[in-house]
Structure 1
């Protein structure tokens, strides 16, 4: 593993004489950042502040789930490529993600965390998605840069997945190897640190040793996807799991769809099962057209849409 030598760029690179970069950017990257917290208001406020620290990064959505004790931010910003190599050399989103993860690590202790959704780290997952004229290679390049920032600056193990992984290993396969889906509290909850002191598989960035306070992080690059929660008012977990398998690609259902059955108690009395439908690719030509129409306003204000 090469030593981490680059600092997170805080400003765009200066244009050279032979550069032909337009100020009207057409290449964008989306990142979905999943953080293991939704109950600690002070922590969420600090992360929110970091998320909105650069007006060139749009916070498209923020989804908090108190039962999961988890929050997801969806961010979008432009990228700048090197004119000769094609590599991503700058994006405002990289610095904002660093600030958000720093705020999360400062305010959240995984040892004190519990919820109805599996997780293995404070900053549990970052997924990167190409938008507009961006290619998957752009998402991979930025994902690897952020993985390097995370592993080396915050000293947490980082595991790459999907297009960012050398063998395109899925996030589900990595999580199964690490026992991600096995609840460790009351049969249906995840509480405290759930990883061993040393990872059984080698991380792509960062140390092999795991801090129980910070855990580990997964970082990947995929086509744009969406997640859905489907509540089912039933106590029969076995039936819900059969339904879950029937819709997932791994269980012979819909290709590219991942699904997870979760059990929880609502309002201390109503027992419900939720199917967490994950990694659903969508056609988003319509959405992208709308984003292009509001792009200038979005980049100027950096507000949720």
Structure 2
């Protein structure tokens, strides 16, 4: 899976669009980065910019944006309602897909160090990138704001993590910047069948982590109670990492609970929805649906789809498209207006609509493309496709078994098999296109110039690297297809007996996928010079082929014994 991170820098300019555009132009100039949103605020004199991409590209875009902001924003003249202490006030990185928080924190520190060294800006690392617990809290780092920087920088306790520890002429214009790593924030509204802001607020206070103050007498208008230290006493709400408030939306004529989920790994969207439903019901109201403000990671909706399927005791081993459909309908995301996953899911928004994938073709289209005079797709892609069909048949048997009348108590057992099958199917579908891309890399390498010794050496290296990759891809097809035999065998043994022949066909397809992919390994191996690599791959491939033939025979014997 491709690694994706989001960057959400806040710049201390929200009124002059020409200045803002100079900064965002720097973001858009970096290849591999997609600018998703630019949100200026005149009152705060602050602009929130959102862009995403692979880590190194995002770091470069962030650096260039911070550099430009330091050139075009002079903090000596900045005024605004929002707390701030620098031209680039904060620059958080957020994990989106295929990357851990620990990895993102390391990237944040790398960015912080570069900004501090190359741009001469004091940098404080916060949240998951912080070096001390005290500095995890952004408010601590930004205390005193820009006006307090001379005193702050002179205090050894507040020496920046990177960059100068003095309020020099440059820092007087740039201010300081907080660079951090935090979880994805989801802005999410739950729709209620009421027009009452008070009632919506009551639900919001029930669920938000902060909760509500404890009052004397009347729970709404009474005086707030305080402890012996004079601190207000609050009763926390039911959800962690959740901020919420009630409001009335004139456009829709309803009240909503407006929610910010600051860490969806702690409180996922579907849990917030379920809790709001229950609290609303307790107060005589009903949730009619919900609304997603901004973007959401794909995994959040996949998790929601699986959650609601599990509540129905249905198999979780269904396609990505089906999981998203279940999530949208269960959360009521299309209650107020149509919900288009391609416009709301970050990974979909980042995909290139111009990419032509073999797996997106119809079966007829794929067959026609294979039959054309083009050398790709070839046997490698077709082998991966056979493997995908083979494990898909086993997954179908698992899903049918999960929903078979009289087998209700076994739904989780078969759901687990179906989930394994879906994972292998998705990997093999990816390899269908990746095998063709690997072939194209070889062709590109052979097309490199060879006019002098340096060009010849570079060309030879590129050919060898491309050839090795063209061996690795069909080898992955072999491994995935062999692994699928475990699912196929289980479905032949314990699955719905009416579908046992489907398991048998799955075994035939998986066996053919392995043997076909092995032919591609062999033919590509002829051009590789790395003998140690070849010896290892060929030895493992021989073993895989033997195992898959044995597994096929065992499965077919079992299948035939059941259908006689």
What does the per-residue CA deviation read over 1:34-79, in whole Å, with 9 as the maximum and x for residues that have no partner? Answer: 1110112331121121111024101121111111110111111113
Distance 1:73 1:213, change over 3 A: same
Residue 198 of structure 1 deviates from its aligned partner by 4.7
Aligned partner of 1:207 in structure 2 is: 164
- Can you give the 5+ residue segments of structure 1 that lack an aligned partner in the other structure? 1-24, 80-90, 182-191, 229-242, 260-275, 301-305
Distance 1:218 1:287, change over 3 A: farther
Residue 213 of structure 1 deviates from its aligned partner by 1.3
Indicate if the aligned counterparts of 2:183 and 2:262 stay in contact, CA closer than 8 A.
Answer: no
Aligned partner of 1:32 in structure 2 is: 8
TM-score (norm 1): 0.63
Indicate if the aligned counterparts of 2:34 and 2:350 stay in contact, CA closer than 8 A.
Answer: no
**Structure having greater relative contact order (Cα 8 Å, sep ≥ 6):** 1
Distance 1:55 1:177, change over 3 A: closer
Aligned partner of 1:235 in structure 2 is: none
> What RMSD, in angstroms, separates the aligned Cα atoms of the two structures?
3.5
Indicate if the aligned counterparts of 1:147 and 1:219 stay in contact, CA closer than 8 A.
Answer: yes
Distance 1:226 1:123, change over 3 A: farther
Aligned partner of 1:133 in structure 2 is: 98
Instruction: Give 3-state SS (helix, strand or coil) of 2:352's partner.
Output: helix
What does the per-residue CA deviation read over 1:176-216, in whole Å, with 9 as the maximum and x for residues that have no partner? Answer: 365247xxxxxxxxxx6442255231211111113221111
What does the per-residue CA deviation read over 1:247-294, in whole Å, with 9 as the maximum and x for residues that have no partner? Answer: 5659755633579xxxxxxxxxxxxxxxx9877223442468733334
Matched, 1:41 2:17: yes
Instruction: Give 3-state SS (helix, strand or coil) of 1:213's partner.
Output: helix
- Can you give the 5+ residue segments of structure 2 that lack an aligned partner in the other structure? 189-203, 212-233, 245-257, 269-296, 303-319, 321-344, 356-564
Q: Which has the higher strand share?
A: 1
Instruction: Give 3-state SS (helix, strand or coil) of 1:206's partner.
Output: coil
Q: Report the more deviating stretch, 27-36 or 204-213.
A: 204-213
The number of residues matched between the two structures is 226
Q: Which has the higher helix share?
A: 2
Larger radius of gyration: 2
TM-score (norm 2): 0.36
Partners of 2:349 and 2:101 in 1: CA distance: 23
Indicate if the aligned counterparts of 1:110 and 1:214 stay in contact, CA closer than 8 A.
Answer: yes
